[in-house]
Amino acid sequence: DIQMTQSPSSLSASVGDRVTITCRAAQSITNYLNWYQQKPGKAPKLLISAASSLQSGVPSRFSGSGSGTDFTLTISSLQPEDLATYYCQQSDSAPPTFGQGTKLDIK
């Protein structure tokens, strides 16, 4: 299984801040990297696929970048509704695996 490691595990930021979450794969996954947002008590929601492809309806303040083993999710201007835990997931090979999550709090 390909291990996915996210950092930080948690972070607190203010409305309007630029927030960056990183995800590292234990081996190259080219661009088979997806980002999910999970709000408390809800199912995960796909935000970004193929490392940088924003899903329909997702605000443009979210963006993804990276390839190979290192990837980044950026929120350009944090909003109160972005309170959630964010997960990366590799889809390069089965079994698909997730990072441990980054819990984002709003100051």
In the complex, which residues of this chain contact other proteins (CB under 8 A)? Answer: 32, 34, 36, 42-46, 49-50, 55, 87, 89, 91-98, 100-101
Q: Which is nearer to other proteins, 3 or 79 (CB)?
A: 3
Least distance to other proteins, CB of residue 9, Å? 11
Q: Which is nearer to other proteins, 14 or 56 (CB)?
A: 56
Please give the Cα distance from 102 to 78 (Å, whole number): 15
Q: Which is nearer to other proteins, 2 or 19 (CB)?
A: 2
**Looking at this protein, which amino acid is placed at residue 104?**
L
In degrees and rounded to multiples of 5, residue 55 shows phi and psi of: -70, 155
Least distance to other proteins, CB of residue 26, Å? 16
Q: Could you tell me the two tokens for 7?
A: 């950092």
Please give the Cα distance from 4 to 90 (Å, whole number): 7
User: Residue 105's closest CA among 3, 9, 30, 22?
Assistant: 9
Q: Which is nearer to other proteins, 16 or 57 (CB)?
A: 57
Least distance to other proteins, CB of residue 103, Å? 12
Around 45, how many Cα atoms within 13 Å sit in the side-chain half-sphere?
Answer: 16
